Amino acid sequence: MFFKKEIILSDQSKDTSGENVWLNGKLIITKGSDENIVWIFHGTDSFGNTTAFAIPVKGELSKANVINAAEMTAYGLRDSLAVASYNAGLSRRFRENPNDPVVAEHDKFIRDVKEQIANYGLN
């Protein structure tokens, strides 16, 4: 469904920018001028590199915007029309089969994103 990217800066003690946000030794937000990158689902690859799912967020850095951007990134949705269409399709699938695995996977992904960002200090 989605790919993790290597986090180049994985050691907080080497971060001299003052623009990054760290939580429990993990890089969680990289601040930029046009967009911020929110990092979730941290892990380690087979080479020992720190990896995470990168969510580019334009505009205000809020829970709602991060959740929306995570959905768009994970499912390859390019704009609000694509999001609306995708969610309409999920609603139809749910009406036809409340146990649809695609709907269940999407709901789990959104739940997991919310859990990941719960302590990120977002409004």
Domain boundaries, the chain: 5-117
Q: State residue 115's pLDDT score.
A: 96
Residue 116: how many CB atoms within 10 A of its CB? Answer: 20
Q: State residue 82's pLDDT score.
A: 96
Q: State residue 13's pLDDT score.
A: 77
Q: State residue 18's pLDDT score.
A: 77
Backbone φ, ψ for residue 30 (5° rounding): -110, 115
Token pair 């030794």 is found at 25
CA quadruple 13, 15, 21, 26: dihedral, nearest 10: -50
| Chain-centroid distance, C-alpha 30 | 13
Q: State residue 112's pLDDT score.
A: 96
CB contact at 8 A, 40 and 49: no
Which residues of the chain are under the pLDDT cut of 70? 1-3, 9
For residue range 39-53, list pLDDT tens digits in order: 999 998 888 888 899
Element containing residue 51 per DSSP (H, E): strand 50-58
Q: State residue 2's pLDDT score.
A: 64
Give the burial string for 37-72 (b: 16+ CB within 10 Å, else e): bbbbebeeeeeeebbbbbbebeeebeeebbbbbbbb
Q: State residue 107's pLDDT score.
A: 96
Q: State residue 94's pLDDT score.
A: 97
Q: State residue 11's pLDDT score.
A: 75
